[in-house]
Structure 1
Amino acid sequence: MTSKRYNLFSAHLKEVFGGRVHKISVDAGFGCPNRGGGRGRQGCLFCDPGGSGAVGIERALPVAAQIEAGKEVMRRKYKAGRFLAYFQPFSNTAAPPEQLRALYDEALGVADVVGLSVGTRPDCCPPQVLDLLAEYHLRSYFWLELGLQSVHDATLDYLRRGHDYRCFLRTYEQAVARGLRVCVHVILGLPGEDRTRMLATADEMARLKVAGIKIHLLHVLAGTPLGALYEQGEIAVLGQKDYVRLAADFIERLHPDTLIQRLTGDGPRHQLLAPLWSLNKWEVLNAIDAELERRGVRQGAKCTAP
Structure 2
Amino acid sequence: MENSKPYRDFGDFLREVFPYKVQKISINAGFTCPNRDGTKGFGGCTYCNNQTFSPEYCHTEKSVTEQLEEGVRFFSRKYPEMKYLAYFQAYTNTYDELNSLIAKYEEALAYPDVVGLIVGTRPDCMPEALLDYFSALSQKKFVMIEYGLESTLDRTLTRINRGHTQAESEEAIRRTAARNIYTGAHLILGLPGESREEILHHADNLSTLPVTTLKLHQLQLIRGTRMAREQAEHPEQFHLYTVDEYIDLVIDFIERLNPSIVVERFVSQSPKELLIAPDWGLKNFEFTAKVNKRISERNARQGRLLNPPSSEPVLPGM
TM over 0.5: yes
Is structure 2 residue 301 aligned with structure 1 residue 298? yes
Tell me how far 1:76 sits from its aligned partner: 3.3
Is structure 2 residue 261 aligned with structure 1 residue 254? no
Tell me how far 1:250 sits from its aligned partner: 1.1
- Shift >4 Å, 4+ stretches: 1-4, 77-80
Tell me how far 1:80 sits from its aligned partner: 6.1
Match of 2:273 in 1: 270
Given that 1:7 and 1:258 are in contact with CA atoms closer than 8 Å, whether structure 2 keeps it comes out as: yes
Taking the aligned partners of 2:78 and 2:158, their CA distance within structure 1 comes to: 41
Matches within 5 A, 1:89-238: 89-234=90-235, 235-238=238-241
Deviation string for 1:175-230 (max 9, x for gaps)? 12212111000011111112110111001111114111111111111011112223
Given that 2:170 and 2:209 are in contact with CA atoms closer than 8 Å, whether structure 1 keeps it comes out as: no
Taking the aligned partners of 1:169 and 1:278, their CA distance within structure 2 comes to: 35
Match of 2:16 in 1: 15
Match of 2:36 in 1: 35
Structure 1, unmatched stretches of 5+, are: none
Match of 1:55 in 2: 55
Tell me how far 1:278 sits from its aligned partner: 5.5
Tell me how far 1:31 sits from its aligned partner: 0.7
Cα distance change on mapping 1:221 and 1:210 into 2, 3 Å? same
Deviation string for 1:118-147 (max 9, x for gaps)? 000011112112212212222210100000
Aligned to 1:282, which of 276, 282, 285? 285
Given that 1:256 and 1:299 are in contact with CA atoms closer than 8 Å, whether structure 2 keeps it comes out as: yes
Tell me how far 1:287 sits from its aligned partner: 1.4
Taking the aligned partners of 2:193 and 2:229, their CA distance within structure 1 comes to: 17
Cα distance change on mapping 1:240 and 1:119 into 2, 3 Å? same
Deviates more, 1:261-270 or 1:276-285: 276-285
Tell me how far 1:39 sits from its aligned partner: 3.1
- Larger helix proportion of the pair: 1
Tell me how far 1:78 sits from its aligned partner: 5.5
Given that 2:26 and 2:55 are in contact with CA atoms closer than 8 Å, whether structure 1 keeps it comes out as: no
Taking the aligned partners of 2:136 and 2:101, their CA distance within structure 1 comes to: 12
Taking the aligned partners of 1:230 and 1:176, their CA distance within structure 2 comes to: 37
Is structure 2 residue 242 aligned with structure 1 residue 239? yes
Given that 2:41 and 2:163 are in contact with CA atoms closer than 8 Å, whether structure 1 keeps it comes out as: no
- The one-letter amino acid of 1:18's match is P
Given that 1:269 and 1:279 are in contact with CA atoms closer than 8 Å, whether structure 2 keeps it comes out as: no
Given that 2:28 and 2:89 are in contact with CA atoms closer than 8 Å, whether structure 1 keeps it comes out as: yes
Deviates more, 1:156-165 or 1:201-210: 201-210
Cα distance change on mapping 1:39 and 1:189 into 2, 3 Å? closer
Given that 1:20 and 1:82 are in contact with CA atoms closer than 8 Å, whether structure 2 keeps it comes out as: yes
- The one-letter amino acid of 1:151's match is T
Give the TM-score taking structure 2 as reference length: 0.90
Give the TM-score taking structure 1 as reference length: 0.94
Taking the aligned partners of 2:231 and 2:281, their CA distance within structure 1 comes to: 16
Tell me how far 1:301 sits from its aligned partner: 1.4
Tell me how far 1:40 sits from its aligned partner: 3.4
Given that 1:97 and 1:132 are in contact with CA atoms closer than 8 Å, whether structure 2 keeps it comes out as: no
Tell me how far 1:12 sits from its aligned partner: 1.5
- The one-letter amino acid of 1:54's match is S
Match of 2:313 in 1: none
Structure 2, unmatched stretches of 5+, are: 311-318
Task: Give the number of equivalent residue pairs.
Answer: 305
Tell me how far 1:270 sits from its aligned partner: 1.1
User: Aligned-pair RMSD on alpha carbons?
Assistant: 1.9
Taking the aligned partners of 1:205 and 1:212, their CA distance within structure 2 comes to: 10
Given that 1:118 and 1:145 are in contact with CA atoms closer than 8 Å, whether structure 2 keeps it comes out as: yes
Given that 1:185 and 1:213 are in contact with CA atoms closer than 8 Å, whether structure 2 keeps it comes out as: yes
